Amino acid sequence: MKRKGVIMKKIIAVDIDGTLLNSKRQITEKTKNALIKAQELGHIVVIASGRDPLGVYPFADILEFEKYGGLISNFNGGRITNYKTKDVIINHPMDFDLAKEILQFSEKNLFMHYIIYTEDKIITSSSKTYKLEEICQKAFTHYEVIDDLAYSLDFAPNKILFSQDPNLIDDDAKKLMDKFSNKTTQVKSTPYFYEIMPKGIGKGESLVEIAKYFDMDMKDVIAFGDEENDQTMIEMAGLGVVMENGANFMKEKADFITKSNDDDGIAYYLEKFVFNEK
């Protein structure tokens, strides 16, 4: 990745859970230092997450994005923000009428509940939404229950997050896929989260947009991930790196399998192949 002593600029995209964070949900000192060093060397670091912006800000602070101008890609690529300037450089909200149609369909045909992110909180149709407290912890915010949310929604969200017991989620997910696959992108981001975004939106597509924004080639994009909602960026990046702790089907799609999130897999790859340290 060096040419005549010059480090070629890269876009380095990292997923959060299972990738940037270890099993204790922490960024280790080694991983933090490696990503800060990458920015010091002129590379662009992107946090690519399904989370809302509030759920990513603390990690952007740890990685000193305010100093270096790192990007956060939220809602699986639905919104991309320059953390230093706070400018939203790319935004893809859902079609408002389609979002309401999906919510109303779910109320009549599904058992699982859903949440939607606003700018400062989570709104949900039920306090019984599966893993609701976990969702709130990740978003560093609070929630509001709106009983008639499917009918009173008054803005176009970037995504709808459905949540259900892993043993029950697939039946409802299939109903959503059968009904709305031609109008939306859908992905299971964990065994109990099922996410719906506008058609054509994904982490991989967001990296294409970011590369175009910086007038860079996709061959100069490195993506780190571990789960299904990382698949498009692993496949579309010039170099797709999957964590050792990642799903087996994801490892089959990887250009490189690095060490696990508990063994500083991001830092290991960067030191060995980007910084060219022995």
Q: What is the pTM of this model?
A: 0.89
CATH number at residue 54: 3.40.50.1000
One-letter amino acid for residue 94 of the chain: M
Q: Indicate whether 256 and 220 sit together in one domain.
A: yes
DSSP 129-141: -TTHHHHHHHHTS
Q: Tell me, what's the pLDDT at 66?
A: 96
One-letter amino acid for residue 170 of the chain: D
- Give the number of domains in the chain: 2
Q: Indicate whether 191 and 207 sit together in one domain.
A: no
State the catalytic residue, choosing from 15, 17, 220, 230.
15
147 CB neighbour count, 10 Å cutoff: 9
Q: Which position has the token pair 């990458």?
A: 38
Q: Tell me, what's the pLDDT at 278?
A: 56
Residue where one domain finishes, among candidates 180, 197, 214: 197
Q: Indicate whether 219 and 148 sit together in one domain.
A: no
Q: Tell me, what's the pLDDT at 179?
A: 98
Q: Strand, helix or coil at 271?
A: helix
Q: Strand locations in 21-159, DSSP E?
A: 44-48, 71-74, 79-82, 87-91, 113-117, 122-124, 143-145
Q: Indicate whether 113 and 173 sit together in one domain.
A: yes
Q: Indicate whether 116 and 162 sit together in one domain.
A: yes
DSSP 181-212: TTTEEEEEEETTEEEEEETT-SHHHHHHHHHH
Residue where one domain finishes, among candidates 167, 197, 227: 197
- Residues paired with residue 14 on neighbouring β-strands, in sequence order: 47, 224
Q: Tell me, what's the pLDDT at 139?
A: 73
Q: Indicate whether 86 and 123 sit together in one domain.
A: no
Q: Indicate whether 253 and 270 sit together in one domain.
A: yes
Residue where one domain finishes, among candidates 165, 197, 229: 197
Q: Tell me, what's the pLDDT at 137?
A: 83
Q: Tell me, what's the pLDDT at 3?
A: 37
In-domain check, residue 181: yes
In-domain check, residue 5: no
State residue 48 phi and psi, 5-degree precision. -110, 110
Clarify whether 154 is annotated catalytic: no
In-domain check, residue 1: no
Q: Indicate whether 64 and 127 sit together in one domain.
A: no
In-domain check, residue 3: no
Q: Tell me, what's the pLDDT at 108?
A: 97
Question: Positive or negative CA dihedral for 217, 198, 46, 229?
Answer: negative
- In the DSSP assignment, the letter for residue 94 is P
In-domain check, residue 59: yes
State residue 238 phi and psi, 5-degree precision. -60, -35
Q: Give residue 172's domain range.
A: 97-197
pLDDT tens for the 278 residues of the chain, in order: 333 444 589 999 999 999 999 999 999 999 999 999 999 999 999 999 999 998 999 999 999 999 999 999 999 999 999 999 999 999 999 999 999 999 999 999 999 999 999 988 999 999 999 999 888 888 767 899 999 999 999 999 999 999 999 999 999 999 999 999 999 999 998 899 999 999 999 999 999 999 999 999 999 999 999 999 999 999 999 999 999 999 999 999 999 999 999 999 999 999 999 998 65
Separation CA 261–CA 23 (nearest Å)? 7
In-domain check, residue 4: no
